[in-house]
Amino acid sequence: MNTILRPVLELTVMISGLFLAYLPVQTYLKQPPGRLAAWLAPLLAGICLLEGGFCYFLNIPTSSVLFPTLLVLMLIYHKSLTISIWKSGSIFLAVCAVFACVNSLSRAVNAIVAERLGLPETEIWFHTSAGIFYNVICLLFVAAAWYPASHAARTMIDDENLAQTWYVFWILPLIFIGLNLFMIPKYEGTLYTGRILQGYIVISLVLLIILMLFYTMFLMMANSLNKNARLQQENHFLSLQQARYENLCSAIEEARQARHDIRHHFLQLSSLAEKGDLEKIKEYLSNAN
């Protein structure tokens, strides 16, 4: 029973990952959160159990089912929201990049556990304790990112002034996902050679820290650019208002001049009418035309 749980534990992080992905987009859900959770949570739990059992009985690594499953979950995630594919896809990939870094760190922890327990180096799944560590770290990250994701990230998503940023942001998490995949040793025994395990732990932590710094810098840069974009829009609006005001003033002045001219004509006609000089009135009207 303990062995069959190992591939399942590697897959259950998808639940916390998808939960984190939904935090900044709660206002863009196509259905109420309760209704979404009512069918999505059992679906994720069933996927983890079925695919974990599938990997166990066929003795294959979880990565063989993880990547196609993530593509399906990304599609489900996008279809459940009202935002563009660029925003939803970037958010989903951003979460995957963080969890990929945690996965590398958990792989190092698994190597330490396996070494202490004297397990064979050909194990294809995390040991139970390493799988629990993997899930706990992911849950702790969700807790730590709860407020930033629900406030700062949501503000950036709500702002439409910087839509072009989402066309390039996805590159950053893809790079870190690729780096963590590249770091996975072809043979598990490689981690036990010399100081490779210590270096692997340091590199995993450094990648995670750098990724967090990049996310923070991107958020600050995006907020700054959004602010500048809003100021430019306000300046453009004010310039339009200024042009409209000047046109209005010009129209008022023309109307005032027209009223003055009409008043002058009326006075002239009234004076001629009092004299009863019809010929002068006809001549005046002819010249006025």
For the chain, give every domain's residue range.
Answer: 2-236, 238-288
Which amino acid is located at 241 in the chain? Q
pLDDT in tens, 239-284: 878 888 888 888 788 778 777 767 776 676 677 667 676 666 666 6
Q: Which of 118, 163, 123 lies closest to 3, judged by CA?
A: 123
Average pLDDT value for residue range 6-32: 91
Q: How far is CA 219 from CA 59, 78, 95, 166, in A?
A: 42, 22, 15, 12
The mean pLDDT value for 26-34 works out to 89
Show the tokens assigned to 86: 């660029």
Burial of 242 (0-12, 13-18, 19+ CB in 10 A): exposed
Mean pLDDT (whole number) for 55-80? 91
Q: How far is CA 69 from the centre of its chain?
A: 21
- DSSP state for residue 187 in the 8-state scheme: S
Answer with the residue of higher pLDDT: 160 or 102: 102
At 5, list the tokens.
């749980």
Q: Cα dist. 196→4, 181, 186, 204, 273 in Å?
A: 29, 16, 13, 12, 112
* 85 sits in which H/E element: helix 85-117
pLDDT of res. 152: 72
3-state secondary structure of 189: helix
* Gap between the Cα atoms of 268 and 245, Å rounded: 35
Average the pLDDT over 148-168 and give the result. Answer: 71
Over the stretch 8-20, which tens digit does the pLDDT of each residue have?
998 999 999 999 9
The Cα–Cα gap between 168 and 172 comes to 8
Q: Specify the pLDDT at position 158.
A: 72
- Whole-number Å distance between alpha carbons of 209 and 189: 27
DSSP string for residues in 110-155: HHHHHHHHT--TT--S--HHHHHHHHHHHHHHHHHHHHHHHTHHHH
As a whole number, mean pLDDT of residues 151-164 equals 69
User: What pLDDT does 151 receive?
Assistant: 78
Q: What's this model's pTM, rounded to 2 decimal places? A: 0.75
